[in-house]
Structure 1
Amino acid sequence: MKRNESVEDYLETILMLRERNGLVRSIDIARQLDYSKPSISRAMGLLREKNYIVMDREGWITLTDEGYEMARRIYDRHQLLTTWLTALGVTPETAAEDACRIEHDISDETFEKLKDHIGLHKG
């Protein structure tokens, strides 16, 4: 989990699962990402070390404020990019896959200009 992209993917997945199910455990993340339980366990340990998540005794995972901010940022990008690409005629599956790749690399400046262009900028 050396790349920031991996961190963002894990945090985004935790946020998505939390919004869908209310509570999140490591097994939920493993199933969602189709990763092994040991891989998820290691990743969750690293996310705890970075203070992005906390885990209680029962294994329930909660995003810290810092983890939530990063997850929300990447999740919002993913949703907007998927919607935009789909509106351009890209199939929903391809749009979601491409959005996942783009969301990590697009600059804040370009993302803000994209939001302005499609009329979604708040402010």
Structure 2
Amino acid sequence: MEISKREEEYLETMYLLHKNKGVIRVKDIAKTMRVKPPSVVDALKKLADKGLVEYEKYDRILLTDEGRKVAEATYSKHLLLTQFFIDILGIPPEIAEQDACQFEHYVHDITVKRIKEFAQFVQEECPYVLKQFIKEKLAENEKASE
């Protein structure tokens, strides 16, 4: 089954809403994703047709097991990429967060695996070099923001 990048975003948003609020509502999805409620309803219908959510108008919204798997995988990529951008590349957190949000939908699983392995390798084998690199990048970031 083909799942679009936008559908992944909806699933991830619903996953986080359920995780943080215990409930998934159209208005919360719309607010989080900065879209209008009718767009959310259209997306929910498509996701329900694909078996990724359970949705009936004016009823609760639930992720199916398959929908949850997609959402968790997407969110896991997001967390890994955000930490990689911050901890390894020295990217400011707000930029790292934005970039991870975009990148997570386009990066292949093999690439994610290699990024994770590389981060572990660098942190274990070259901690001093990594600290020096990050220190230099943080200094550059501070100069650029002056």
* TM-score between the two structures when normalised by the length of structure 1: 0.88
Q: 8 Å contact 2:17–2:24 — kept in the other structure?
A: yes
Q: 8 Å contact 1:27–1:37 — kept in the other structure?
A: yes
Q: 8 Å contact 1:48–1:54 — kept in the other structure?
A: yes
Name the CA shift for 1:17/1:82 in 2 (closer, same or farther; >3 Å).
Answer: same
Structure 1 segments unaligned to the other structure (5+ residues): none
Amino acid at match of 1:104: H
Alignment correspondent of 2:110: 109
Offset at residue 58 of structure 1 (A) = 4.4
Within the alignment, does 1:45 sit opposite 2:10 as a pair? no
Offset at residue 54 of structure 1 (A) = 0.3
Alignment correspondent of 1:30: 30
Alignment correspondent of 1:97: 98
More relative contact order, 1 or 2 (CA 8 Å, 6+ apart): 1
Distance 1:91 1:55 in 2: 38
| CA radius of gyration, larger in | 2
Structure 2 segments unaligned to the other structure (5+ residues): 122-146
Amino acid at match of 2:5: E
The SS at the match of 1:105 is coil
The SS at the match of 1:24 is coil
Alignment correspondent of 1:61: 61
Q: 8 Å contact 1:25–1:59 — kept in the other structure?
A: no
Offset at residue 32 of structure 1 (A) = 0.7
Alignment correspondent of 2:125: none
Q: Which runs of 4+ in 1 moved over 4 A?
A: none
The SS at the match of 2:120 is coil
Q: 8 Å contact 1:81–1:99 — kept in the other structure?
A: yes
Distance 2:30 2:72 in 1: 20
Q: 8 Å contact 1:53–1:62 — kept in the other structure?
A: yes
Offset at residue 57 of structure 1 (A) = 6.3
Q: State percent identity of aligned pairs.
A: 34
Give the paired residue count: 119
RMSD, matched Cα? 1.9
Query: Which one has the bigger helix percentage?
Result: 2
